[in-house]
A and B are shown apart, each in its own frame.
Chain A
């Protein structure tokens, strides 16, 4: 078996999981019309897509180390596929809601694929490989929003049925052709590391916590902005959007939704490039930032991620500054840049995770990819609690700046940063 085939299987599996994850949102108007839902009901349905992510990713990451990525991924695809099929025949809204919450578990497959790719690709190409996997898979959300309503119209039942049936086919393919690791030695090392001590070890490492915060600054911010930006532009730039020629509520929603979608689209599609840049930093040996280690085998990747985090913070401040000038095109330009910088953060983080925790890539990916999604809930609450325009500045100064300082501090060790954590090695797990 070739590693590119494994990358292809993981990417297709993740793409399909993302498609299922966001298919509920794509058909929410149809579901709302069928069951006469209120705005509050719709908000609950939309937010339910994220409920299972934090805990689910932690469990999925551990399972991929313990049982291998193909079995874990196939189980997720099959379970979510079967429930998706069941939801196509459901006539009660309460049951449909519960079933779609279960289908949304498909989103936890991200960390399983990260582990799978890490088990097949070597250190010098891991950034591009992980970037291609995650970035291409993420496009499933956009494809779902664009194509599903066009293919199925308002017939969400048929969509859920087909999505579920194809998920079963992909699950069978994953089991048939998927292989857990490039070598048995690598597979055995990861299986042995996938115990409770291994989990405690990863969770207490300063560098793992720093990467989790880095991912909260990037992916956590991405999902927060997906939910927040349409409302922000509709309210914060109401008069400017009216001046563009969008005179009714539907038109303002279209314009505001477009600005949000462009940021999200760039954050997904630039992610492989971010992984490639991490590889390039590594190959060239670029270590421009102060304090961060320069001698570690993967030190340049730490510097690339550090640069990404600084750019994200600066562009968040830029969003507030752009509002001070009251110039909509400037805000959009900053937003596009922010979307790209967010991709630098997401791609840069997962170019590092498998290298820092080679014996526990699934557990580390589960911790970093799972807990960080809480940012998607926290940031909008902060944005909403202060003046909408100033919220970006608050988050940048009071959250992102301390996160960056912690990252610089945790990444300063020139030897084995994994050995430094809240617990001693003996307490947290005996190996790094």
Chain B
């Protein structure tokens, strides 16, 4: 495994798509959490699939 020049190693093309996927996953986490908590705190139900 390459231990040198880590701080200057350029990112490969796949990396930006990887970051896009992780940002999408964060967006899903925030959206599902916000929706589920909104439903629960308003007495309407809960986590999707457990209504």
Report which A residues bind B (CB closer than 8 A): 3-4, 118, 122-126, 128-129, 131-132, 135-136, 139, 145-147, 149-150, 186, 244-246, 254-255, 257-259, 261-262, 265-266, 268-270, 272-273, 275-276, 282-285, 297-298, 329, 332, 336, 354-355, 358
CB neighbours of B12 from chain A (8 A): 125
CB neighbours of B18 from chain A (8 A): 125, 128-129, 132, 272, 276
The distance from the CB of B12 to the nearest CB of chain A, in whole angstroms, is 7
Q: Is the CB of B43 within 8 A of A245?
A: yes
Contact residue among A123, A258, A269 (Cβ-Cβ distance under 8 Å from B2): A123
Q: 16 extra interchain contacts, Cβ-Cβ under 8 A, other than A123-B3, A276-B22?
A: A125-B15, A126-B1, A128-B18, A128-B19, A147-B49, A258-B36, A258-B39, A261-B50, A265-B33, A272-B21, A273-B22, A276-B19, A282-B7, A297-B6, A336-B33, A358-B1
Q: Is the CB of A273 within 8 A of B26?
A: yes
Contact residue among B11, B19, B28, B46 (Cβ-Cβ distance under 8 Å from A254): B46
Q: Is the CB of B28 within 8 A of A123?
A: no
CB neighbours of B11 from chain A (8 A): 124-125
Q: Is the CB of B26 within 8 A of A270?
A: yes
CB neighbours of B48 from chain A (8 A): 146
Report which B residues bind A (CB closer than 8 A): 1-4, 6-7, 9, 11-12, 14-15, 18-19, 21-23, 25-26, 28-29, 32-33, 36-37, 39-43, 45-51
Contact residue among B4, B37, B45 (Cβ-Cβ distance under 8 Å from A262): B37
Contact residue among B1, B2, B4, B40 (Cβ-Cβ distance under 8 Å from A255): B40
Distance A303 CA – B15 CA, assembled complex (angstroms): 23
Q: Is the CB of B22 within 8 A of A257?
A: no
CB neighbours of B47 from chain A (8 A): 254, 257-258, 261-262
Contact residue among B7, B25, B40 (Cβ-Cβ distance under 8 Å from A136): B25
Distance A28 CA – B14 CA, assembled complex (angstroms): 40
CB neighbours of A254 from chain B (8 A): 40, 45-47, 50-51
CB neighbours of B9 from chain A (8 A): 122, 124
Q: Is the CB of B41 within 8 A of A329?
A: yes
Distance A272 CA – B25 CA, assembled complex (angstroms): 8
Which residue of chain B has its CB nearest to the CB of A131? B22
CB neighbours of B29 from chain A (8 A): 265-266, 268-270
CB neighbours of B32 from chain A (8 A): 262, 265
Q: Is the CB of B43 within 8 A of A150?
A: no
Known: A257-B46, A257-B50. A132 touches B36 (CB 8 A): no
Distance A118 CA – B2 CA, assembled complex (angstroms): 12
Distance A283 CA – B6 CA, assembled complex (angstroms): 7
Q: Which of A131, A135, A255 has most chain B Cβ within 10 Å?
A: A255
Which residue of chain B has its CB nearest to the CB of A247? B43
The distance from the CB of B49 to the nearest CB of chain A, in whole angstroms, is 4
Known: A123-B6, A124-B6, A261-B47. A132 touches B22 (CB 8 A): yes
Distance A3 CA – B17 CA, assembled complex (angstroms): 13
Distance A355 CA – B2 CA, assembled complex (angstroms): 9
Q: Which of B1, B2, B21, B47 has most chain A Cβ within 10 Å?
A: B1
29 A-B pairs in the complex with CB atoms less than 8 angstroms apart: A3-B14, A124-B6, A124-B9, A124-B11, A125-B15, A128-B15, A146-B49, A244-B40, A245-B43, A254-B50, A255-B40, A258-B46, A258-B47, A258-B50, A265-B29, A268-B29, A269-B25, A269-B28, A270-B25, A272-B21, A272-B22, A273-B22, A273-B26, A283-B6, A284-B7, A285-B7, A297-B6, A298-B6, A329-B41
CB neighbours of A244 from chain B (8 A): 40-43
CB neighbours of A129 from chain B (8 A): 18
Q: Is the CB of A122 within 8 A of B22?
A: no
Distance A244 CA – B7 CA, assembled complex (angstroms): 51
The distance from the CB of B41 to the nearest CB of chain A, in whole angstroms, is 6
Distance A351 CA – B13 CA, assembled complex (angstroms): 20
Q: Is the CB of A128 within 8 A of B22?
A: yes
Q: Is the CB of B7 within 8 A of A283?
A: yes
CB neighbours of A276 from chain B (8 A): 18-19, 22
Which residue of chain B has its CB nearest to the CB of A246? B43
The distance from the CB of A282 to the nearest CB of chain B, in whole angstroms, is 6
Distance A149 CA – B25 CA, assembled complex (angstroms): 23
The distance from the CB of B26 to the nearest CB of chain A, in whole angstroms, is 6
Known: A135-B22, A255-B40. A145 touches B14 (CB 8 A): no
Distance A128 CA – B46 CA, assembled complex (angstroms): 32
